[in-house]
Amino acid sequence: MYPHEYTSQVYSYTYAVGGIKLQVQEEDAQRAIELLIEGGFATKEDYEISESTKQVVRVVEKIQSFFGKKK
- pLDDT of residue 25 exceeding 60: yes
Handedness of CA 56, 58, 54, 39 (dihedral sign): negative
Of 3, 51, 29, which is closest to residue 59 (Cα–Cα)? 51
Domain range annotation of the chain: 3-67
- 28-44 pLDDT, tens digit per residue, is 999 999 999 999 888 99
pLDDT at position 41, please? 85
